[in-house]
Structure formats: structure tokens, C-alpha cells
Amino acid sequence: MKCIRATVLMLVTFLGARSGYGQGQESLIFELAGDARGAALGGAVMADLDSDVHGAGLNPCLIDTARQGDISIDYVDYFAGMGMTSVNYQLKPKGRWNMQLGSRFMNLGTFTGYDPAGNPTQDFQGGDQVVYFGTSRAIDSVWTFGAQGFIGSRHLNREVAGWAGLEAFVHARWVARQLAVGMAVTGAGHQWGLKGSQPTGALPYNVQVALTKGFNNAPFRIYLKAQHLQTWDLAPPGTYDDTIDPITQEVVKNSTFKFGDQLMRHVTIGTALSAGESMEIWFGFDYRRRTELMATDRINGNGFSFGAQFQFGKFGVRIGRSRHHFAGASTHIGIRFNPRQFGRS
């Protein structure tokens, strides 16, 4: 418990010291769940009852020591030509330390350039990329601590920025109770504007707390997560203001339950349904995504997500679908394999 208190104190001190710095630009590469399972469950998994090679890329406490040498490759087909590819490789443990190495690349699409007079010039592409090294260590049969350092960059034609940072994780798993909890600070780092008008300052970080619960003699698990806890009110300005009727000029009271709306903007919920030894089906819901990305009253399936995993021979395959807006959804595809299985016998 002394290690837990020391870790929490260190994180609070570190984040408090960062609050006085300027702000770097937010990147989807830290927010978007690259893994199909995480996306289908509503967001990156921060507490789990099992280890997971794919999910370990976003949480090294989930490194699977039974799958040493496994490689996971995940691809996200986002919007408007945007996409992200993630690769994670589990290294050989060193003593009691589990280790992994990986990278993520976010293609931001194609842009049209303009000269100072407003005339179009040549098109150009932009992207964000990071490489990371993650490690975790089990303190006992329940508690695991992890850390993941990263370096990366953003390029947009003549605009270039560099990144470096460190993420921290705490995870606990009670197998007999089928209960897992986790806490993480992700995306914490610094951005340097290297070229153009890119700002220099602290990267936006994300404080997350998660709980996962399984049940005896029931083939499903519940995943709950609260994120962006460093800021209570995530709603856009004016969300809770009263409005004026354009015809009668009367004040229309805002009927939104403010506390409940603010609370739910932090929460994602998901469930995993077992369909056999080699198949699992996932469903998830993100209230904030559903609320902020609706167009007038056209909500449709905004905020909902689903997916599944299968085993095909030596490959583990995952596919997920996240509904962001009535105009479309993102598709997540992933595979896992061990190159040693393809060696000569």
C-alpha cells in the first residue's frame, strides 16, 4: 500500500506542476481506441480480468506473459480519408518486468494548400506518429504497476511539432471475485513547436478510472470507465443556458439535468459476451459521443459500438464498429499472431 500511495502522490505532484504550462495541441492518436475490442466496449480498456496483447498497447498492465513474441496489428478506418495503424510487440520479460514495444501512426488525410493571396497551391498530407516502450511489474497476485514512455511528432506540410511523454498505470485484479479495477494517466507529455506555428506546451492528459466485473455462471462481463476526470464540466459553452423563442421572445428554460449530464459525459459502459472458447462479442456505449455529435435531433445510433473476435488457425482476428454520427462510423480491424509459429518444424 505504501507503493500505491507513493505512486498516486507522484502523479498528483507531476500533473499539478504541469498546470502552469502552455497547452500543446490535442491528437486523436492518444484518444482513439486503436484496438477493435476497446473501441467496441466504448473506449480503451483500463481494467480487465484477462491479459490482452492488443489492449496492452494502451495499457502495459495488460501485457500477456503467456504470449511472449506475439505481434498485434490494428487498423482504424476513421473519417474523410483519416486512418490509424497500430503495431504492438511483446518482448521477453526481464526479471519481474514485462515489456513491450510499439508504434501508432495517424493519417490525417489530404489538405489543399493556399498561398497568401488565397490561391490554391499543391495538396499535401498530414499525420501524427508515436513510438513507445511500455513496462509493467506485478507487486503481488493482485496489484500491477505500469509505465509507458513515448516520443512522436506531427507534420502538416511546413508545420512540424515534436512530442515526448510518460504515461502511468495502476491495475488490480481479484480473480476469485471476478473483479478488476484500474487507474491511468494517459497522454501526459510535452509538445515542442519545431516549425511553423505549432505551439509549445503541455500535451492534454486524460485521467481515467475503470472497473470490470464478471459473474459466476454467467457468460458476460461489464466494463465501466470514467475518463477526463481532470476536468469536471466537459460540455460545450452554453449547453445549460436558457434560450429565447424566436417568435414569442419568451425565455425557454433549459430542462437538462445538469449534474447527471456532466457526470455521464465522463462515463463509458460496455459488455463482453462469451460465445465459446474462440469467440467473443462486444457492445459499448459512449454518452458524450452520442450527445455532442448529434445533428439537431438526428441521433440514430450515435455513441453505440459493437464488435467480435474470432480465431482462424494461427491468427486471432478482431473487428469492431463505432457509430460517431449519422453520416458514418469508424471501422476497427485487428489481427494477432506469433511469427515463431510459422517457422520450420
Verify that 131 and 44 share a domain, yes or no.
yes
Our count of domains for the chain comes to: 2
Verify that 258 and 183 share a domain, yes or no.
no
Residue 188 and residue 204: Cα distance in Å, rounded? 7
In the listed set 213, 245, 263, which residue is the last one of a domain according to the structure?
263
The beta strand positions in 14-119, using DSSP E, are 71-77, 83-90, 97-114
Cβ neighbours for 157, distance < 8 A, ≥ 6 positions apart? 111, 113, 124, 126
pTM of the entire structure?
0.86
Half-sphere exposure of residue 264: CA atoms within 13 angstroms, side-chain side: 15
Verify that 169 and 243 share a domain, yes or no.
no
Verify that 259 and 281 share a domain, yes or no.
no
Residue 226 and residue 268: Cα distance in Å, rounded? 7
Verify that 130 and 218 share a domain, yes or no.
yes
Residue 99 and residue 77: Cα distance in Å, rounded? 28
DSSP-assigned letters across all residues of 294-336:
-BTTB-TTTTEEEEEEEEETTEEEEEEEEEEETTEEEEEEEEE
Verify that 9 and 91 share a domain, yes or no.
yes
pLDDT per position as a tens digit, 180-207? 999 999 999 999 999 888 889 999 999 9
Query: What would you report as the CA-atom Rg of the chain, rounded to the nearest whole angstrom?
Result: 21
Verify that 251 and 271 share a domain, yes or no.
no
pLDDT per position as a tens digit, 106-131? 998 888 877 787 888 888 888 999 99
Average pLDDT over the chain reads: 87
Verify that 58 and 135 share a domain, yes or no.
yes
For cell 459553452, the residue is 237
Q: Give the pLDDT confidence score for residue 224 in this predicted structure.
A: 97
CATH at 114: 2.40.160.40
pLDDT per position as a tens digit, 75-117? 999 877 789 999 999 998 998 999 999 999 999 888 887 778 7
Verify that 23 and 108 share a domain, yes or no.
yes
Verify that 122 and 184 share a domain, yes or no.
yes
What is the residue range of 184's domain? Answer: 2-229+266-342
Verify that 57 and 197 share a domain, yes or no.
yes
Q: Give the pLDDT confidence score for residue 22 in this predicted structure.
A: 53
